[in-house]
Amino acid sequence: MSSAYDPNNIFAKILRGEIPAHKVYEDDAVLAFMDIMPRGDGHTLVIPKLPARNILDIDPAALAQLIQAVQNVALGVKAAMGADGVTIQQFNEPAGGQVVFHIHFHVIPRFEGIPMRPHSGDMAPPEVLAAHAAKIRAVLAN
């Protein structure tokens, strides 16, 4: 059984503006921003604004709205980064690889012949994240 939603998780803090993020898209229901430890250039996270721990507890209608936003962000990220493909990842509970317990989809641009970077725990330089965010934001704004 899943644990309860923790309103002090890091993405809830980003949603409340308590910690900064390189945002690329926002509407009433969703927020998209750069992953701080990108596994590929342009690695973006898409989250709902409502509290949900993961796919096991989110309201199905909210999930439907979220996945539409994921598609939109994937199209924008792919175009902005000039990628050949996109990997979408979504993890549930610690055994499923989840580390941050506010549901999120990973949108990772992929390039022919370039493997995904390992999850090293290295943070990308803020200026690199800012530059990628600016490119993606410009495409998603249109």
The residues annotated as belonging to the active site are: 104
Of 92, 46, 53, which is closest to residue 70 (Cα–Cα)? 46
Which residue from 21, 46, 55, 69 is in contact with ligand 5GP, where contact means CB under 6 A?
21
Which residue from 41, 44, 98, 133 is in contact with ligand 5GP, where contact means CB under 6 A?
98
Which residue from 91, 117, 137, 139 is in contact with ligand 5GP, where contact means CB under 6 A?
91
Q: State which residue, 55 or 142, has the beta carbon closest to ligand 5GP.
A: 55
Tell me the C-alpha distance between 36 and 52, whole Å. Answer: 21
Site size for ligand 5GP, by CB under 6 A?
13
Tell me the C-alpha distance between 105 and 74, whole Å. Answer: 10
Enumerate residues 48-77 that contact ligand 5GP by CB under 6 A.
Answer: none
Give the orientation angle of helix 60-81 with respect to helix 126-140, to 10 degrees.
100
